[in-house]
Structure 1
Amino acid sequence: MAHQVHIDVDKLDGLLAPFDSTSAPGFAVGVGLKGRPVYRRGVGLASIETSTALSPSIRMRIGSTSKHFCVLALMLLKEDGLLSLDDSPRLVLPELPAWADDMTIRQLMAHTSGMRDSLDILMLSAPPSAPIAADEQFKMLCQTKSVNFLPGNGWSYNNGGYVLLSMIIERLSGAPLGEFLRERIFLPVGMVDTMLRPLDTDLVPNSATLHVPDLSGGWRRGVMGAPVGGEGGIVSTVDDMLRWLAHMSTPRVGSAESWAEMRTPAASHGYGLGLMMGTYRGLSTVHHAGGVIGGSCQMLKVVDCDLDVIVISNGRNALDLYNLVDAIIDSCVADLPVIQQDTVGAVATGTYYSKNSGRVLKISENNGNPFMMINGMTLPAKRDRSGAYSVSIMPTDIRVMPDGPDFETLNAIEFERTDRLERVHPPASHSEKKELFGEYKSEISELFAFINGNVMRVSGVNGSQDYTLEQIGSDIWMATTQSFFPMLVTLEVSESGILMSSGRTARLHFKRQ
């Protein structure tokens, strides 16, 4: 069915009106139709410090939206005859451990390699703002002995994989990543304001400041301590991203075969190679979101209508950003099907644990609406007619189905695999906590944990941070930090120590010393 597209500037202005502030960060928004910009606007401040207004021509971080640019760079090297996507990364990076022999460059692109995520491990021991040397993530990966899962046997979003992909580009091309991206991709498309910005402390003209809310109700700078490459280091403007979205319809950079591979789903939820294929209210979409410390981005193409949407924030809530993108599509496209209402009824509230995978999942309720804590993040959940819960904000096809009317067990179905979880309860006596006291060392040389009372301190090359422990079941603990960027991990007691899991790290072993 062909859908009518109508751009109503007043309606779009109305969607942005709640964020048009002279005292808070905001959004830069662009809409394109059939390759032409039809709406571009900024609301809020580019910098609270200088009271500079945000505009579509100001450089802003696009975060993980950078990933498909990184993939395209590798596709160009493939077209040059310098690599195969089915090569092991160890062919180019021989320093990697033997676990890399069985994984491929394609799996790194698709997040199906199963390798540990170096960025996630770094954040175990310090907040993401902690400075760290440029080569530290690679050194950490070279020290790891275990993996999250066997290559091709699962899907887990992995920034560390894109750290390796960035290094592969540099070694094969002989050029710094930023130079390769500029010369082979950005300039040929006319994206003159787009560039790689490894550090937030780099001085880049015409740039918006990143903002994070502080505990007093004000704002502070958002800064990423680790240098960022193809995993999320690009800054661009709304105007340049509209040029890029138009280019995606009729690419001049990259062959038709390369773009077809990028847009072929490698996982059941639609993730391809640096791009996500999906649907919104019956419309086919290609998109990739991005999040940084103090900013977020969503780049989306409605394929059926050749409608392009780019929204970038320098500090607004990411949920507001996703809702704004949806509202823009709703405003522009006519005759969309009615959104299916959630099923009502009792919510399966509680904390659930899988003995098989170590997964901990928490379902809560607020004003009758279900929320699901998954990978350490609490997100709004939807419930379909079968009673299954799902989330739409993050890339996963997980469906959580209560197994019986008492909600004592759940089945989490994700990527065509079923994981059985049982409701857990904190024991009446917390005397077992004494068994946790002591020091623990991980397989990574400088990553330690020390537990004393209700506090666990994790120390690494980039610093240390304290977690508050909460026992959620027999031999199972939840630990959270109290920083502006909260980190949540779970601990399972093992015979020789503890197994630590976070959003993108599965059962990293810490041996008791």
Structure 2
Amino acid sequence: MIRFAWLPLVALLATPAQADPGAPGRIAAALGIPSATAPGCAVGIFRDGKTAELVNAGAADVATGRAIGPDTQFYAASVSKQFTAVALMQLVVAGKVSLNDDVRKYIPELADYGTVVTVQMLLNMTGGIRDSLALLALEGKLKISEPSRAEALAGVLRQKETNFTPGTQYDYTNGGYLLLSEIIERVSKQPFETYVNTNVLKPLGMTRSFMMLGKRTADANATHGYVAAADGKVSSADEYPLFGGSGGLITTVNDLAKWDRDIDSGHKVWTPEITRLMVAPGKFTNGAPVVRSGRGIAYGNGLIIGPHWFHHTGGAAGYKTLYGRLPEKRMGIALLCNNGAIDPAKKADEVIAALNEGLPAVTEPSSDGSALNGRYRNPNIAATYVIDARADTINLTLEAANGGKTGPLALKRNAEGVFRSGPFGITPDDDARGFTLETSRITLHFVRAQ
């Protein structure tokens, strides 16, 4: 049970028009920060383009006990990707980049993979480009703050093949967004970080935010990163890349309020055309939605696109972050934490639940599974498998060659995105072209019957 004895240690701020005076306290309880000297979080709830609640809990610097506030700087990690995507879309709207262009038009030294990788595929994580940060680690660069942007890019450009045929699968990769930042740099003819700082952040007055290029923030009101174990032990974890593209943004909750305001009603950067491009769900080359295999999570342009929310999380060794928006309610949430042990998506869901408004979870699946519905065959099996999917359940019927039927068998989706019933498991292909069936000592791939 959460006890409220520590609530005086938490800074709770609200606008005078606060509709529910108890909301900040419930948000603080949902955060569960045990003391003012533990690493913590800054949370902002935004309504109609204005800040409704600010809740700041824990320490920006554990050694000194300096408190987290709404202007405290955090490393945003992959929340940065939407800023990269918006910068790219500015060039698309200006007619300087086409989403359907071959990436090699802008980066000719990228290997010819035999199948075109488009700019849109990079945005949607469907190009098969290998992860730049993983490549750095494989090359012995384990302290991730030390490699330069040029070294990371060189590692991606050394790859002579993709992880899969471009446009057919989803694979979350920092390498694709590093390539996007390089396209922005070459087309704009200025450093990527300079372009974002000048054309994305400055117009919104995000004066406490910037894209890093080679060095950390030196601001006196910045966080350090930590990992807080379940037993309360805190370890320093202040390592993250010092360049932009897939990450790189330093920001605050108050600055993310300005980001949210522009999406809601400012439209200086999030113009109607850029908004339309940003919130469009991705598609595979066969037209199926870009959905993470089995999990029903659709990826768009630097954003996870849900039936209600769009959002993105971020994670580094000592940081966990999230920005999300619920357009139908004109509502946004920012969650910035300097504790790498926190699950930002789960924590955001708990914060939203604490508002007591019956709002959908930020992490609500984007797909109900119906894209899987159909008849499937494998040439080694004399039977047809029929799938009827509803939400997190697949009903599977087997039609034998002699006309007999078995089933339906109900399989439930687990946290790994596998639909399972006992030893029987089905993992859908990302683009719904088929599925992999696993059972006792046998693994088979089924494709749609013609």
TM class by shorter chain equals 0.7 to 0.9
**Higher strand content, 1 or 2:** 1
Which is worse superposed, 58-67 or 248-257?
A: 248-257
What code does the residue aligned with 1:402 have? R
Deviation at 1:156, TM superposition (A): 0.6
Q: Aligned pair in 2 of structure 1 residues 97, 337: CA closer, same or farther (>3 Å)?
A: closer
2:438 maps to 421
List gaps (5 residues or longer) in structure 2.
Answer: 1-16, 283-289, 292-296, 362-391, 396-409, 443-450
Correspondence for 2:331: 307
SS in 1 for 2:322: strand
Partner of 2:164: 149
Secondary structure of 2:261's counterpart equals: helix
Supply the distance in 2 between the matched residues of 1:68 and 1:114 (Cα, whole angstroms). 19
Give the secondary-structure state (helix, strand or coil) at the position aligned to 1:387. strand
Distance 1:175 1:191 in 2: 20
Alpha-carbon distance in 1 for matches of 2:256, 2:159 = 37
Query: Where does residue 265 of structure 1 map in the other structure?
Result: 281
Does the 8 Å contact 1:212/1:222 carry over to 2? Answer: no
Partner of 2:425: helix, strand, or coil?
Answer: strand
Given that 2:145 and 2:242 are in contact with CA atoms closer than 8 Å, whether structure 1 keeps it comes out as no
Q: Is 2:171 the counterpart of 1:137?
A: no
8 Å contact from structure 1 (residues 27, 316) kept in 2: no
Which consecutive unaligned segments of at least 5 residues does structure 1 have?
Answer: 339-381, 392-397, 426-513
Q: Equivalents in 2 of 1:42, 1:142: separation in Å?
A: 42
The equivalent residue for 2:184 is 169
**How many angstroms apart in 1 are the aligned matches of 2:315 and 2:418?**
25
Q: Of the candidates 182, 186, 198, which is equivalent to residue 197 of structure 2?
A: 182
Corresponding residue for residue 11 of structure 1: 23
Task: State whether structure 2 residue 418 is matched by structure 1 residue 400.
Answer: yes
Contact 1:410–1:420 (8 Å) recurs in 2: yes
Change (3 A) 1:11 1:202: closer
Letter in 1 for 2:121: Q
Aligned residue among 50, 55, 60 for 1:36 = 50
Match of 1:330 in 2: 353
Q: Does 1:192 align with 2:212?
A: no
How many residues align? The count is 364
Is residue 58 from structure 1 mapped to residue 75 from structure 2 by the alignment? no
Letter in 1 for 2:314: G
Tell me how far 1:337 sits from its aligned partner. Answer: 8.1
RMSD of the alignment, in Å? Answer: 2.9
The letter for the 2-side match of 1:260 is: R
CA 1:145–1:84 in structure 2 vs 1: closer, same or farther (change >3 Å)? same
Question: Is the contact between residue 388 and residue 399 of structure 1 (CA under 8 Å) also seen in structure 2?
Answer: no
Partners of 1:290 and 1:246 lie apart in 2 by 21
Structure 1 residues 390 and 229 mapped into 2: Cα distance closer, same or farther (>3 Å)?
same
- Name the CA distance, whole Å, in 1 between partners of 2:75 and 2:254: 14
Contact 1:25 1:316 in 2 (8 A): no
Measured after TM superposition, the shift of residue 100 of structure 1 is: 7.7
Aligned-partner residue type, residue 209 of structure 1: H
Would the aligned equivalents of 2:228 and 2:340 in 1 still touch at CA under 8 Å? no
Whole-angstrom distance in 1 between the partners of 2:351 and 2:85: 28
C-alpha separation in 2, matches of 1:83 and 1:337: 36
Distance in 2 (alpha carbons) for counterparts of 1:337 and 1:21 = 30
Alpha carbons 1:110, 1:271 under 8 Å: kept: yes
Q: Percent identity?
A: 26
Over 3 Å counting, the alpha-carbon distance change for 1:199 and 1:221 in structure 2 is: farther
The residue aligned with 1:218 is 234
Indicate how the Cα distance of structure 1 residues 199 and 25 shifts in structure 2: closer, same or farther if over 3 A, else same: farther
Shift of 1:77: 1.3
TM-superposed CA distance for 1:255, in Å, is 3.7
Which residue identity is paired with 1:278?
Answer: G
Counterpart Cα distance in 1 of 2:439 and 2:148: 42
The answer to whether residue 173 in structure 2 is matched with residue 158 in structure 1 is yes
**How many angstroms apart in 1 are the aligned matches of 2:114 and 2:216?**
33
Query: 1:278-289 counterparts in 2 under 5 A?
Result: 278-279=306-307, 284-289=308-313
TM-fit CA distance, 1:240: 0.8
Which amino acid in structure 2 is aligned with residue 401 of structure 1? F
